[in-house]
Amino acid sequence: MRKLKNNELGRITVDEFKSREKTPIIVVLDNIRSLNNIGSVFRTSDAFLIEKIYLCGICATPPNKDIHKTALGATESVDWEYVEDTLSIVEKLKAENVKVLAIEQAENSTKLNTFYPKKNEKYAIVMGNEVKGVQQKVVNAADVCLEIPQLGTKHSLNISVTTGVVLWDLFQKMNTL
């Protein structure tokens, strides 16, 4: 088995990315303080052809060298927008018939492995602050609260890891419908 070289990976250009049909998922970042986490979310969103990222509250925005360090240029391919108030964008998305999924540990949450997206639906996943999680008022406004089942002692994953797990799970389920 031989590792592939970069020129063998079939990477698309930014223009090709922009013109491709997107996975019907929007990522909403609710007050993410780590610029490296923000950059990682951009890079993961690029990998799965995510439609858009909303950066809310205290989230830093591109261009920024610390975001770029982990995004590796994905801030150029993935559409993004800054919105000051997370709840306002959640309400706007819901008014546009986007199903809002808060990714949070909560009463009556749905385990990620048991959630199946519906065909022809668009989803927004809300990822919360590294310490406080998704704001309670945003959890209250969400259509569903999704939780990643965890069996260890910490019951906590870094926001960039959580985003990767959730996006991969939804992406692969949507692409097998």
Domains parsed from the chain with CATH numbers: 20-174 (3.40.1280.10)
Which contiguous run of DSSP H or E holds residue 173?
helix 159-174
Return the pLDDT at 94: 98
Reference 47, options 170, 177, 176; nearest CA is 170
Tokens of 4: 């592939």
Coil/strand/helix, residue 67? helix
- Residue 177 pLDDT: 54
Structure-block tokens of residue 105: 């540990």
Tell whether the model's pLDDT for residue 142 goes beyond 90: yes
Q: How much is the pTM?
A: 0.96
Helix H or strand E encompassing 102 = strand 99-103
Percentages (nearest 5) of helix, strand, coil residues in the chain: 40, 20, 40
